[in-house]
Amino acid sequence: MYTLAIWYEKCFVKELSLRGKSFKQQLVIPLIYKGIDLEAQLRLDVLVEDILCVELKACDYILPIHEATIISYMKMLEKPKGIIINFNCVNIFSEGQKTYVNKLFSKLADD
């Protein structure tokens, strides 16, 4: 079953490709508990340039569970930046995205 978010993901990664950006799509995130891989099937929608975790949505609202998920993925993958993009809005730039940073962000080089 396809959802709108899957269609948006296909377009999103096409744009990344056209712009020459490296990415990994549907990245499996291992859930290790007490040394055991629990095979939880956690998947990040897109990891861009090995630094930005991207979760794509097509929903009415970004819920706390969406925020908890992206923050958890950032922590588990040890990535400093994350963004949730919700395509179910009038203007993605003003209302359809929310960015996140963690303590790793302060260790990034100033470019």
User: Does residue 47 contact residue 79 with C-beta atoms inside 8 Å?
Assistant: yes
Q: Where are the beta strands (DSSP E) in 1-111?
A: 23-29, 32-33, 36-37, 42-48, 52-57, 81-86, 97-101
Q: Please state the separation of Cα 39 from the chain's center in Å.
A: 19
- Bigger pLDDT: 93 or 109? 93
What is the average pLDDT across 15-32? 96
Q: Using 50, 70 and 90 to split pLDDT, how confident is the model at 2?
A: low
Q: Measure the CA–CA gap between 45 and 57, rounded to whole angstroms.
A: 10
What is the average pLDDT across 61-73? 95
Instruction: Indicate whether 47 pLDDT > 90.
Output: yes
Q: Measure the CA–CA gap between 75 and 67, rounded to whole angstroms.
A: 12
Q: Using 50, 70 and 90 to split pLDDT, how confident is the model at 107?
A: confident
Query: What pLDDT shows up at residue 10?
Result: 95
- All domains of the chain, ordered by start, with CATH? 4-107 (3.90.1570.20)
Q: Measure the CA–CA gap between 93 and 97, rounded to whole angstroms.
A: 6
pTM of the prediction?
Answer: 0.88
Q: Using 50, 70 and 90 to split pLDDT, how confident is the model at 1?
A: very low
Report the amino acid identity of residue 14. Answer: K
